[in-house]
Amino acid sequence: MQVGIRGNAYMNRRQFLLSGMPLGVALAARPTDCSAAQADQALGDFEQGHAQGDGVRLFFVRAGDGPLMLFLHGGPDSSALYEAQVREFCGDHVSVAPNLRGFPPSDAPDAVDAYRMPRLLGDVHSLLDHFERERCILVGNDWGGYVAWVFASAYPTRVERLIILNAPHPAIHLREVRENPAQNRASQYERDLHTAAAPHPRWYNYYRADPIKVPASVADSAAMPVPDLAAHFFAGAARPPEVTSLRVAAPTLVIWGMRDHVMLPGQLDGLEAYAADLTVLRVADAGHYPMRSHPELVNQAIGHFLRQAK
């Protein structure tokens, strides 16, 4: 059963952790326009630096002090995506938003293998080590959320809370591109990235290194082998995973823009099988970037989620 908020957002009743959230405040949050260029300029007053990742240097912006909140973007974005969240939560956290590998001014290796999941997990470990934190609140969108799902599942002692914004869980995504015709059609762009001629953006390599390959149609999926995700994600990882089930133990908040034309709502079906302590907030009039279109609503939801830990 769902709880409605005048068509803008709704969530699972049995996991309604935001019950203390004033609905009038939530209803007041309307879409806003924050371009990447505006956000880049806005980040100019934050501290900037570099951390050594898994064989690459990673650029980051940071603000505040306290427990670590680590914000991972996707493609073709940057740390600027989270300007509103870094600014909101730096009052009582050290808020850090890196540019992932492949996104300058972070290093952008040429080799596809440099974008395999073990390297991406190594980058997250390195960021925690750089800021001398054993644990973090991990936030991710798009590819950053995909990595966050895997990291939180494999290294539960390093993730206090997980926050996902329109990023598929790998096991659900594998099912959806093979079995759901609508998601299969929406994901056909990935096939184009695989065949794009050089020179192409380095971040295309995220898709090329991923074990999940989108079939040309649902019917064609029967002829494609089903990859062993854990074997691909953890083989050769510098730090062996504590868990390989891809199930997340940490309390998890998923905020999903329901007008996302790339990651469809079917990505939420069955998600509770991979997140034992799950809350889902659906934002009916948001797309792929709810943190940008609905920053106040997203910040309020995250703030209430974090206060549940206290």
Computed over every residue of the chain, the mean pLDDT equals 89
CATH of the domain at 145: 3.40.50.1820
Distance between CA atoms of 139 and 220, rounded to whole angstroms? 34
First CA to last CA distance, the chain: 27
Residue 6 pLDDT more than 60? no
Residue 47 φ then ψ, to 5°: -65, 140
For the chain, how many residues are written?
Answer: 310
Which domain covers residue 146, as residue numbers? Answer: 2-307
Residue pair 138/152 in contact (Cβ under 8 Å)? The answer is yes
Predicted TM-score (pTM) of this structure: 0.89
Residue pair 253/163 in contact (Cβ under 8 Å)? The answer is yes
Distance between CA atoms of 136 and 250, rounded to whole angstroms? 11
Q: Per DSSP, what are the bridge partners of residue 69?
A: 95, 137
Residue 114 pLDDT more than 90? yes
Domain count, the chain: 1
Distance between CA atoms of 113 and 92, rounded to whole angstroms? 38
For residues 310, 147, 79, 214, the Cα torsion angle rounded to the nearest 10 degrees is -140
Residue pair 284/8 in contact (Cβ under 8 Å)? The answer is yes
Average pLDDT over residues 24-51: 54
Residue 149 φ then ψ, to 5°: -55, -45
pLDDT of residue 42: 59
Q: Is residue 109 very low, low, confident or very high in pLDDT (cuts 50, 70, 90)? A: very high
